[in-house]
Amino acid sequence: MVITTSLFIISFGLELEGYFRARPRLLYNISLVNLQSVDPLITYFDSRGLLNVKLGDENIKLISRVDLIDNAVWGYNIRGASDAPLAQVISFNDIVGKEVPPIKIKRLYLDIRTKIGAIMAGFMPSHFGLGMYVNSGDSIYNDYGDTYARIAFATKPFGKDSNLITAIFFDKVVEGAVIQEGSSDILDADTDDLGIAALYNNDFWKGGFYSTLRFQETSLQSKAFLIDAYFETKTKFYLALELATLLGRFQVFQDQTLNISSFGGLVRAGYKFSWIFPYAEFGYASPPGNNEFSLDTNRRGTELKGFRFHPDYDPALILFNFIGGSKVSQPVLKGFSNILESRSVFSAYYLKINNQIKVQNAFVIPSLLLAFDSKNSKFLGVEPDLEIRNKLLSEKREEGKESDYNLFLSLRMGLLIPGKQLKEVERPGEQGTEESPVFGIVGLIGYEF
């Protein structure tokens, strides 16, 4: 794009990419309980748009992500509205009635390319490995995604043609109020991350590590160390591995020290034929300790051992996505909903058998998941799923390159047969468990550009 005035000419590029999606959903018996006068069938539609904007040239770009009507439920759905039958307009709210801003700028950062490497600063995404722990959430199927207040420098230490890229970064995690209103005291609630990462990528495999050291200035004994290692092959024999551990201790309150030691990992193995790709996946998230500090209820405790996968990493349609491995009375988790969504893999292990079958322009993906509680090995459930993806329209930039835009349909169906662990734990006010299985259908029509 060229802007011309009578005094000077400014040349810059403008790149736009993103997607729009609309999803119909049908969920049956999602609460796993018998509640009086409550219909076990839930149906609704939601929509989301995402726009990535890049402004600049090859040396310097200003990049932003704009969420448009982020997962708003269709219709007039303000919680507790008594005049809903007479409504004539829609509202922008999520499934629990919380208002959704029509436009939300989620990220904004500067990307500068120099002869020695790239410098980035601002509110930016981060993604590593298979997305088990650090996930940018930019896929058309994702809902959340990580955004960091970060300064980063990335380079290829052995030259621009090298297969190795390294990075060092600083994240501001917690700042608190810089100056407390009504007081002359300057607060210091700083919690920061210092991190390094490396990724090696050639024609046959890629792998590396992502590591951070978190510390809090107000407490010299507050430090936590994260290491996330990843490996993935690019050959017909497919093998992928990601392992992450979080270690350290934090002084949560003046009279309480929190010891952290959690671990999670997953491994995949399969073989890529010309039209079929079967693989098996095993995932593990370490169980909570005997005196666990609860991130959901902020309950006091002295240890944090339970590991949690990223909410955008969901191996099944229902289990760990709509229903988690345990129930709490008032969950406070990431995402647009804190009731039905964002039950990520935590304190559990699972085995997933997956098969991706290519038929013309469509993919048929049957899968089977078996999951157990990682503390006492109680059975969480078994879930067979079926997904069908179909590209309706695809325009290629160049031969062999990815599509410039895609219009496609997706349909996922799942049946969860809950195990003993899910049935025996009840929230306050629940009157008994439901013996029937959980059923879900999620459709999607999406346009990527």
Tokens of residue 197, six digits: 């990462």
Alpha-carbon dihedral 340, 345, 349, 352, rounded to 10 degrees: 80
Number of H helices, E strands in the chain: 1, 21
Give the residue-averaged pLDDT of 176-200.
Answer: 74
d(CA 109, CA 121): 5
272-320 per-position pLDDT tens digit: 999 999 999 999 999 988 888 766 555 667 888 989 999 899 899 998 8
Higher pLDDT, 335 or 347: 347
pLDDT, the chain, mean: 83
The whole-angstrom separation of Cα 412 and Cα 365 is 9
Question: What are the DSSP calls for 399-411, one per residue?
Answer: TTSPEEEEEEEEE
At residue 129, does pLDDT exceed 80?
A: yes
Alpha carbon distance, N-terminus to C-terminus of the chain: 19
67, 47 contact by CB (below 8 A)? no
Q: Residue 391 has what pLDDT?
A: 77
Percent of the chain exceeding pLDDT 70 equals 76
Tell me which H or E stretch contains 421: helix 420-424
* Residue with token string 């550009």: 449
Say if residue 170's pLDDT is above 60.
yes
Our measurement of the distance from residue 138's CA atom to the centroid of its chain's CA atoms, rounded to an integer in Å, reads 9
pLDDT of 86: 66
Summarize the confidence of residues 196-215 as an average pLDDT: 96
Kindly report, residue by residue over 73-120, the tens digit of the pLDDT. Answer: 998 877 655 556 666 778 888 887 888 999 999 999 999 999 999 999
pTM for the structure as a whole? 0.85
The phi-psi region of residue 133 (left if phi > 0; otherwise alpha if psi is between -120 and 50; otherwise beta) is alpha
